[in-house]
Structure formats: structure tokens, C-alpha cells
């Protein structure tokens, strides 16, 4: 082989292997670093989840959650200790202040992504958890703030879990498993546990959803029967225990005396009572930007020959709303 040609070939191979940032070795190192970061962030989430439950993680629980052999788990714990993210006390693992802040960042990213995937991407609820897990590791604090603002600053993810604030606070989960709820009291579904996935799939298949108002019709060791006034939902007690309910908020009871904006006649004034729970994400942000808040007077002013959209007067401004949007705004008539 021609020595010059050989030299050129070797030079090209070396460049492909060792070129900074784009060479194979640099790409491999970048891939390994990303993998290690994701593993560490998953570990932080596990520790935070345990502490939220009032207990602490252990090397064994961490290894089980991450699916790692004990030697790799030990090396991971040592690395996180060196970085000041956790402390080992006996057989318990404790988050440090820095570790907790980082863990809350990841949880916030995960739950905001779930909100986006459910509300804007319209991804089936049974798929959003896995997809959000892939995306949660790649946003900075500034990017998270932008996503949060674009979604209208949601406080709960599509399962009802609280979303940490940008200041790093995580509201406590509230509610009671429906299996422990008083049978003759109406309740609102405030949380649907998405793990284990099989139980969550059964809840979704039954037709239950977040924000739904239900009542217990029957509760036996074999089944729990719920009703929303129109349909009945039958679940095994083990599955029903993953449905969390709470009392219906007092201001929401006003909704029962209200009607959708679509039912208001032309030029009839109405006062906004509340926005439907289904209004989330970009749509909720747009409604708020338009001034569609409780107590605001609104009325239909322009008709559309085709019926949709319809023109409404609100705060001195004429806006257009589609029928499906107006149906999510609950109002009561204002008599002049």
C-alpha cells in the first residue's frame, strides 16, 4: 500500500475515533455520562418518594428499584455521597438539602411532561408515564419554568399528583382511598395511582377519570361498585384502593347551579362561575389571558352563520370561542 495513502487512512481513522465532541470516543463518553446522570436522578426520585411516605430508602430498596446488582448500587451510593447528595446512616439513605432540590427538579420535570403529553400531545394516559420518564432528565430550571408558564402553571399532573413549585416545595397529597370512604357521602376523584401499571390500566378501562364525582353503591370483600349518577364502575378492592377521593370543594358545588356558556342565549348576560377541570395546559393559559375568570361577566354578542365559533363580549373585548371551548366555561345568568 502507498505509504501516503496509508498515512491519510490512519489519520482519518484517528479523527473519527478521537475528534473532540463528535468523535466516536467523545460520543461514547457523552452517552455514558448521560446514562449515569439518569441513573443517579432515578435514585434521587426513589429516595424522595420514600421520604414522602415517611420512611427511608436502603441500599436494597434502591437496588430493587433501579434493577442494579449490589456492587453497582454501592458504587452509585458512594458517588452520590461524594457529590453531597445523600448521607448513609446505618442501613438508611437520607437526602441532603442539595439532593432534595435535585430530586424535586426531576419530579417537577416528570409531572410537567405528563401534563403536556396528556393535554397537548393527547397521548393516551396509559402511555404518558413511560414517555415522561424518558424526557424528565433533559430540561434546565429555566426550560422547566418556560414549560410551566406555557401550560398555565398547573398544580397537579394527570394522575392527581402535586407538581413541585419552582421554589422547590411539594404540597402534601390529600385524600382517602375510596375503599375507606364513607358509603353515603359523595366524593371527587383526586388521584389515580399509576403504579402498578396493571391496576392503573384496569382503572382506565373501567372509565374512571380524575375530577369525576362519584358515590359508593356497594363495598364487599369481592368488589367495589361506584356510580357517577349515570354509570356504574366495578373494581376489585385491590384495584379500587388505588383510587383516592376527597370531599367535593364547596365552591365546586356552585357548578351544579350553573350551566355551560353554550346554553346562554344571544345578548343574555352571564357571570363565570368556574372553568371545567378538563381545561388544562395551553387552553387554560389562553382562557386566563382572555380574562375568563370567576366573577367576570360575559355574553354572546355575535352569531356565526355556521354556528361555530361564536363571538362573546368579555371585559369590553369581543372574543371568539368554539362550541367545545364555551362548553367548558360554567356560568350563571345575570338578570338586568
**Distance (Å, rounded) from C-alpha 143 to C-alpha 141?**
5
pLDDT band at 53 (very low <50, low <70, confident <90, very high): confident
pLDDT band at 98 (very low <50, low <70, confident <90, very high): very high
Counting residues of the chain whose pLDDT is more than 90, the rounded percentage is 62
pLDDT band at 94 (very low <50, low <70, confident <90, very high): very high
pLDDT band at 302 (very low <50, low <70, confident <90, very high): confident
Question: Is pLDDT of 26 > 90?
Answer: no
Question: Is pLDDT of 227 > 60?
Answer: yes
- The confidence score (pLDDT) of residue 22 equals 60
Phi, psi of 95 (to 5 degrees): -70, 140
- The confidence score (pLDDT) of residue 148 equals 93
- The confidence score (pLDDT) of residue 1 equals 55
Q: Taking all residues of the chain, what is their mean pLDDT, rounded to a whole number?
A: 88
Q: What is the DSSP string of 3-20?
A: HHHHHHHHHHHHHHHH-T
Which domains are present in the chain?
Answer: 16-95 (1.10.10.10), 176-248 (2.30.30.90), 253-333 (2.30.30.90)
Put the strands of the sheet holding 176-177 in their side by side order: 176-177, 243-246, 187-192, 213-219, 224-227, 232-235
Residue 313 β-bridge partners: 299, 318
Question: Is pLDDT of 24 > 70?
Answer: no
- The confidence score (pLDDT) of residue 172 equals 82
- The confidence score (pLDDT) of residue 237 equals 96
**Which value, to the nearest 10 degrees, does the dihedral of the CA atoms of residues 161, 167, 169, 170 take?**
10
**Distance (Å, rounded) from C-alpha 199 to C-alpha 192?**
10
pLDDT band at 195 (very low <50, low <70, confident <90, very high): confident
Contact criterion met (CB below 8 Å) for 44 and 76: no
Residue 333 β-bridge partners: 270
Rounded mean pLDDT, 109-120: 94
> What digits encode the pLDDT tens for the residues 243-283?
999 998 766 666 667 889 999 988 899 999 888 877 878 88
pLDDT band at 184 (very low <50, low <70, confident <90, very high): confident
Assign 135 to helix, strand or coil.
helix
Rounded mean pLDDT, 272-299: 88
**Distance (Å, rounded) from C-alpha 236 to C-alpha 199?**
10
- Kind plus residue range of the DSSP H or E element containing 31: helix 24-52
> What digits encode the pLDDT tens for the residues 307-324?
788 999 999 999 999 998
Question: Is pLDDT of 235 > 90?
Answer: yes
Question: Is pLDDT of 28 > 60?
Answer: no
Question: Is pLDDT of 30 > 80?
Answer: no
pLDDT band at 18 (very low <50, low <70, confident <90, very high): low
185 φψ region: left (φ > 0), alpha (ψ -120 to 50), beta (else): beta
Question: Is pLDDT of 71 > 80?
Answer: yes
- The confidence score (pLDDT) of residue 92 equals 94
Rounded mean pLDDT, 224-230: 92
Amino acid at each position: 500500500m502507498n505509504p501516503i495513502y496509508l498515512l491519510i487512512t490512519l489519520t482519518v481513522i484517528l479523527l473519527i475515533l478521537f475528534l473532540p465532541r463528535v468523535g466516536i470516543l467523545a460520543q461514547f463518553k457523552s452517552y455514558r455520562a448521560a446514562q449515569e446522570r439518569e441513573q443517579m436522578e432515578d435514585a434521587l426520585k426513589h429516595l424522595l418518594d420514600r421520604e414522602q411516605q415517611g420512611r427511608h430508602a436502603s441500599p436494597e430498596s434502591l437496588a430493587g428499584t433501579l434493577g442494579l446488582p449490589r456492587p453497582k448500587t454501592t458504587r452509585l451510593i458512594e458517588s452520590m455521597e461524594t457529590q453531597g447528595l445523600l448521607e448513609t446512616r446505618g442501613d438508611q439513605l437520607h437526602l441532603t438539602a442539595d439532593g432534595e432540590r435535585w430530586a424535586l427538579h426531576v419530579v417537577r420535570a416528570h409531572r410537567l411532561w405528563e401534563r403536556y403529553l396528556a393535554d397537548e400531545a393527547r397521548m393516551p394516559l396509559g402511555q404518558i408515564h413511560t414517555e415522561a420518564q424518558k424526557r424528565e432528565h433533559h430540561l434546565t430550571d429555566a426550560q422547566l419554568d418556560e414549560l410551566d408558564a406555557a401550560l398555565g402553571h398547573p398544580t397537579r399532573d394527570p394522575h392527581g399528583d402535586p407538581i413541585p413549585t419552582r421554589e422547590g416545595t411539594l404540597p402534601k397529597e390529600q385524600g382517602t382511598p375510596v375503599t375507606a370512604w364513607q358509603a353515603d357521602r359523595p366524593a371527587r376523584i383526586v388521584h389515580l395511582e399509576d403504579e402498578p401499571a396493571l391496576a392503573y390500566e384496569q382503572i382506565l378501562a373501567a372509565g374512571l377519570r380524575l375530577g369525576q364525582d362519584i358515590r359508593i353503591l356497594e363495598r364487599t370483600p369481592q368488589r367495589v361498585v361506584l356510580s357517577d349518577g349515570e354509570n356504574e364502575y366495578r373494581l376489585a378492592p385491590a384495584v379500587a384502593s388505588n383510587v383516592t377521593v376527597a370531599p367535593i370543594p364547596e365552591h365546586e358545588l356552585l357548578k351544579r347551579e350553573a350551566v355551560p356558556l353554550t346554553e346562554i342565549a344571544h345578548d343574555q348576560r352571564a357571570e363565570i362561575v368556574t372553568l371545567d377541570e378538563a381545561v388544562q395546559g395551553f387552553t387554560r393559559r389562553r382562557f386566563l389571558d382572555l380574562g375568563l375568570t370567576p366573577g367576570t361577566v360575559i355574553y354572546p354578542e355575535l352569531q356565526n352563520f355556521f354556528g361555530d365559533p361564536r363571538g362573546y363580549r368579555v371585559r369590553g373585548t369581543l372574543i371568539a370561542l368554539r362550541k367545545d371551548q364555551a362548553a367548558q366555561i360554567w356560568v350563571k345568568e345575570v338578570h338586568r
